[in-house]
Amino acid sequence: MPSRRRALLKVIILGDSGYVNKKFSNQYKATIGADFLTKEVQFEDRLFTLQIWDTAGQERFQSLGVAFYRGADCCVLVYDVNVMKSFDNLNNWREEFLIQASPSDPENFPFVVIGNKIDVDGGNSRVVSEKKARAWCASKGNIPYFETSAKEGTNVEDAFQVIAKNALKSGEEEEIYLPDTVDVASSSQQRSTGCEC
Amino acid sequence: MMISNGIEDEEKWLAEGIAGIQHNAFYLHRALDANNLREALKFSAQLLSELRTSRLSPHKYYELYMRAFDELRRLEMFFKDEDRHGCSVVDLYELVQHAGNILPRLYLLCTVGSVYIKSKEAPAKDVLKDLVEMCRAVQHPIRGLFLRSYLAQVSRDKLPDIGSEYEGEGDTVMDAVEFVLQNFTEMNKLWVRMQHQGPLREKEKLEKERNELRDLVGKNLHVLSQIEGVDLEIYRDTVLPRVLEQIVNCKDELAQYYLMDCIIQVFPDEYHLQTLEILLGACPQLQPTVDLKTVLSQLMERLSNYASSSPELLPEFLQVEAFSKLSNAIGKVIEAQADMPIVGAITLYVSLLTFTLRVHPDRLDYVDQVLGACVKKLSGKPKLEDSKATKQVVALLSAPLDKYDDIVTALTLSNYPRVMDHLDAGTNKVMAMVIIRSIMKNKTCVSTSDKVEVLFELIKGLIKDLEGISTDELDEEDFNEEQNSVACLMHMLYNDDPEEMLQIICTVWKHIKAGGPKRLPFTVPPLVFSALKLVRRLQGQDGDVAGEEVPATPKKIFQLLNQIIEALSVVPSPELALRLYLQCAEAANDCDLEPVAYEFFTQAFVLYEEEVADSKAQVTAIHLIIGTLQRMNVFGVENRDTLTHKATGYSAKLLKKPDQCRAVYACSHLFWVDDQDGIKDGERVLLCLKRSLRIANAAQQMANVTRGSSGPLTLFVEILNKYLYFFEKGNPQITSSVIQGLIELIKTEMQSDSTTANHASDAFFTSTLRYIQFQKQKGGAMGEKYDPIKL
């Protein structure tokens, strides 16, 4: 029974540099509000539907807040290897996520870190080394780390495999809800406000 | 209290709503696990009923919506799996329409609709059209906006886009575009209408809520930007005009500002560049209160970033005439928004200038054009007093300096000084300092008198008193800093050609002579030294030989120098003037211009006699005079006698005896110049030294009388050292026996009771004796010379 539920995985992508148009893009196109795409991933003979939520990155296009973090199975933190600040901000994004999504076991919540745009300027403009990024990931409880190039999207598939695996292995347990009385007749209809729309 | 109650109530309502959703979700999950379609529909409809509330603010409603949204994803997966419920998607589409309430019914319909499209049993465009029409049934703004944003979200990956599986068989990108545009239009109407609902006193709260909802509307534009099939042509001919039409016609300030911002941010740069005219054309049609300066600034910033991403893009910018289009649009916006404060207009020009400098750094004419437009806007108005506006003008004027690292470029901009003219005196000075700092930082050499003329016109706020501000009101520290900067600046004005350099000096002089008594002491010395530098350059060339018509001759420069230094008399600053005269005299000496050098000395002496009254200043001055005069070799006997006579005369007339003594023995050097052709008048040297001894004696006796003890013997030891100097230099008048006598004299005096013990003078004497001892032991000619002196 729970296995079927896990077939749908909610993934939140956070970071200063966005995941746009099914690939990590170089071109700047703002995202408005939260936006999700679905992606099917095959893992160990099973098909998973990933619900990938991308965020605006810019606060001014986040007017309704971040209620969509709730119920996430995995959080992907993305930074631009050419921009130190985007790496420095990873910690803020991680903490912000844990506060807003309030998962039941924040210590073991599955994150993935992606260093993006490694191909820009043939790698010459890179300012965050892989070693540094991996060290940070290790310090935060061995977060899996991937690097991708915006143009070719290399390693993105691998990342999604790991996301599926992690979400399956140690992902958020369902919020267990038990009704006070199992009484089908007493629904919440009484509270409805009269109007029929 | 009322507010906190309101918040508490809202929390309660939200909690109730969440509980309702969780409750029904529990049964929904059970129904899904049991593959019970009927039950699943029933509980999902009940679950969705929670979204019918009108009591939550958009933020809280969003939380509730997200919970329902997550449940609907499971339901959607269930719907997809026909094996589980045994009902075809076509039937399902009919079935869900039996839900009792309209809002749950439409959420379910959209959910099935998305499965329906995915099944491809009906053309995507028909289903989409149906859904977007059906949603009209909900006209409550918050509920309607969320419902439609749900529709936008679930249909998002099922639009008949190029390369998508839903394209073809009559379904085209245009259908996708039509669908999103329609949804956008409906949402915008709901959103704009919201402000008219509810009582007037809640207007502020309503505006806040509307603002929170904005991203739901903007989301549609994001969806449009993500449709791959929306190429430039479709964007230019359909998407942009339709979106702009909606924006312009809704006549709502909040919507207009936000949606313009969205367009700029979500669509790609090259689209903006190719459709500038259309986008900018909408700006003057917007409400006059829309903050267009921010909108346009962001557009220009995007375009600048785009241009700097690759040099290959520049021809495109030129081809579409981006600059003139932006420039025109800004002009029209400023015209249309008559109430826009001046700061807004200038901010727009700053953005345009930033764009120009980044995209077309070589086009100085563009830069000048922007400045010119700014002048036009400012002209006919009183000088700016709004501090924000002046700040923007400073930003405007600083931008070219930062960009070109070179003031000279800015000096060629004809409108640059005209903009500066509109600044108040204080800001004018701030700007002048920015200019000077830029020159100093970049070590820019300003090399023609024309440029110097423009430059000094620009910084005139520092050079002379401007109307309205007198130097008395200024903070002294600031004033000194400013004037020091001007002084530094003068060293950056240089040309290798002496004639041009003289022109530069004359130009500077023309400007600074009006500076008044407070500025001249700062500005005159650097100019004098600059002129003297030029003199030294000419000195080797012997300009006079070439004929009368050479303009830059040392003689001519000295005439100018005379004028410049004379100007200090208004300060008055006799000590400074005296020093400068002496500098000039020395330069004239090196140019072999005896009369000129004599004239400068005369000026210095006149100042000494008439202006330098303070005894300390006199001491300093007399030593300077002696020092300079000693180095002069241009004078004939007669002139020299006159001057040395004067100098020794002044020395003997100083007020304090020790000062007299020291000045007089210093005069001894005037008669003994230690080089090949130097004057060597041993007799007069001795006369000076003897005279200084007499004065030292007199000083000693005077001290005895007035204080009961004589002062230290320092003066005697100093004189002894002078004797030794001339002794070694071979002055025949200074013999070993004279020295012997002086040593004995000092020794006796030291043992006398009346002499105050003084460690410093004792040590001085001891080391002098040690020196003599050393010279004696050294042997050779010098040793022999010293031999007769017995210690």
Backbone torsion region of residue A65, taken as left when φ is above 0, otherwise alpha when ψ lies between -120 and 50, otherwise beta: left
pLDDT at position B471 is 54
Cβ distance A58 to A30 under 8 Å? yes
Among B26, B66, B213, select the one facing A68 at the smallest CB separation. B66
| Residue A111's pLDDT band (cuts 50, 70, 90) | very high
Q: How many Cα atoms within 13 Å fall on the side-chain side of residue B771?
A: 12
Among B102, B212, B305, select the one facing A63 at the smallest CB separation. B212
- What are the respective helix, strand and coil percentages of chain B, to the nearest 5? 75, 0, 20
Pull the structure tokens for residue A138.
């290790």
Q: For A139-196, how does the pLDDT look when each residue is reduced to its tens digit (9 = 90+)? A: 998 999 998 876 666 677 788 888 888 777 654 455 566 666 545 444 444 444 445 5
Among A27, A32, A187, pick the best mutation site for testing chain B contact (most B Cβ within 10 A): A32
pLDDT at position B758 is 78
Residues 6+ away with beta carbon under 8 Å from B253: B287, B289, B290
Lowest mean pLDDT among A174-178, B18-22, B351-355, B737-741: A174-178
Residue A2: pLDDT over 70:
no
Lowest mean pLDDT among B168-182, B511-525, B536-550, B722-736: B536-550
Distance from CA of A188 to the nearest CA of B (A): 6
Backbone torsion region of residue B789, taken as left when φ is above 0, otherwise alpha when ψ lies between -120 and 50, otherwise beta: beta
Percentage of chain A with pLDDT > 70? 71
Among all residues of chain A, which has the CA nearest to that of B33? A1
DSSP B726-775: HHHTT-TTS-HHHHHHHHHHHHHHHHSTTBPP-HHHHHHHHHHHHHHHHH
- What are the respective helix, strand and coil percentages of chain A, to the nearest 5? 30, 25, 45
Bridge pairing between strands A35-43 and A74-80: unpaired
Q: What is the maximal distance between C-alpha atoms in chain A?
A: 67
Q: For B383-405, how does the pLDDT look when each residue is reduced to its tens digit (9 = 90+)? A: 777 778 888 888 888 888 888 77
Give CA separation, B365 vs B125, B323, B347, B410, B741, in Å: 52, 11, 20, 11, 85
What are all long-range contacts of B337-345, with beta carbons under 8 Å and residues at least 24 apart? B337/B288, B337/B292, B338/B288, B339/B288, B339/B289, B340/B288, B340/B293, B341/B386, B341/B389, B342/B377, B342/B378, B342/B381, B342/B384, B342/B386, B342/B389, B343/B386, B343/B388, B343/B389, B343/B392, B344/B293, B345/B293, B345/B374, B345/B377
Cα separation, A64 vs A61, in Å, equals: 9
Among A10, A51, A61, select the one facing B218 at the smallest CB separation. A61
**Averaged confidence pLDDT in chain B:** 89
Contact assignment for A64 to B265 by CB distance below 8 Å: no
Q: Is A39 helix (H, G, I), strand (E, B) or coil?
A: strand
pLDDT at position B790 is 85
Cα separation, A10 vs B224, in Å, equals: 24
pLDDT at position B549 is 55
Angle between helices B203-226 and B141-155 (to 10 degrees): 10
Chain B residues touching residue A56 (CB < 8 angstroms): 215
Among A32, A71, A179, select the one facing B219 at the smallest CB separation. A32
Cβ distance A27 to A58 under 8 Å? no
Among all residues of chain B, which has the CA nearest to that of A29? B266
Give CA separation, B768 vs B378, B715, B716, B718, B791, in Å: 76, 13, 12, 9, 11
Contact assignment for B27 to A184 by CB distance below 8 Å: yes
Question: Which residue ranges form the domains of chain A, and what is each CATH number?
Answer: 2-191 (3.40.50.300)
Write out B362-430 in H/E/C secondary structure: CCHHHHHHHHHHHHHHHCCCCCCCCHHHHHHHHHHHHHHHHHHCCHHHHHCCCCHHHHHCCCCHHHHHH
Percentage of chain B with pLDDT > 90? 62
Pull the structure tokens for residue B24.
């029904």
Among all residues of chain A, which has the CA nearest to that of B265? A30
pLDDT at position B610 is 92
Contact assignment for A29 to B225 by CB distance below 8 Å: yes
Q: Is A52 helix (H, G, I), strand (E, B) or coil?
A: strand
Q: In chain B, where are the structural domains located?
A: 1-119, 123-267
Q: Which helix (H) or strand (E) holds A24?
A: strand A23-24
| Residue B226's pLDDT band (cuts 50, 70, 90) | confident
pLDDT at position B339 is 83
Count of CB atoms within 10 A of residue B332's CB? Answer: 15
Q: For B475-523, how does the pLDDT look when each residue is reduced to its tens digit (9 = 90+)? A: 888 889 999 999 999 999 999 999 999 999 999 999 999 888 889 999 9
Residues 6+ away with beta carbon under 8 Å from A86: A15, A16, A17, A79, A80
Among A12, A61, A70, pick the best mutation site for testing chain B contact (most B Cβ within 10 A): A61
Among A187, A190, A193, A195, pick the best mutation site for testing chain B contact (most B Cβ within 10 A): A187
Chain B residues touching residue A175 (CB < 8 angstroms): 22
- What is the mean pLDDT of the segment spanning B748-765? 81
Name the DSSP class of B672.
B
